[in-house]
C-alpha cells in the first residue's frame, strides 16, 4: 500500500474546509453545525429546501415565499398572506 503524500492530503483538506466555510457562510451558520449530530436547524433547512424544490407551481412558490418573508419580519402570522397556501 502506497503512503499518501502529506502535502496532497493537507491541500485536499484545506479545499474541503474552504468549501464548507463558503456553504456555512451562505447558510449563515457555523461550520461546526455540519458535524453536530444535534444540529436540528440544518435538518430543518434541508427539509425546507427539499420542500421548496418540490413546489412546481410558480404562484404557489410566490405565496410560500411571501409567507416566509412575513414570518421572518414579524414573527408567526396566524394566516398566510392570501388566506391559504
21 and 8 within one domain: yes
Q: Taking the alpha carbons of 26, 28, 30, 32 in that order, is the dihedral positive or negative? A: negative
SS3 string, 42-58, reads: HHHHHHHHHHHHHCCCH
59 and 42 within one domain: yes
Give the domain range for residue 48.
37-76
Task: Convert the pLDDT of each residue in 1-49 to its tens digit.
Answer: 666 676 776 777 778 888 888 998 999 988 887 776 555 667 788 888 8
Q: Is residue 82 part of a domain?
A: no
70 and 49 within one domain: yes
Q: pTM above 0.85?
A: no
Number of domains in the chain: 2
Cell of 13: 483538506
Do the Cβ atoms of 67 and 81 come closer than 8 Å? yes
47 and 24 within one domain: no
Amino acid at each position: 500500500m502506497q503512503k499518501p503524500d502529506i502535502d496532497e492530503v493537507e491541500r485536499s483538506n484545506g479545499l474541503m474546509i474552504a468549501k464548507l466555510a463558503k456553504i456555512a457562510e451562505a447558510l449563515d451558520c457555523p461550520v461546526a453545525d455540519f458535524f453536530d449530530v444535534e444540529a436540528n436547524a440544518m435538518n430543518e433547512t434541508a427539509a425546507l429546501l427539499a420542500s421548496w424544490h418540490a413546489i412546481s407551481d410558480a404562484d404557489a412558490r410566490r405565496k410560500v415565499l411571501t409567507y416566509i418573508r412575513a414570518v421572518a419580519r414579524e414573527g408567526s402570522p396566524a394566516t398566510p398572506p392570501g388566506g391559504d397556501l
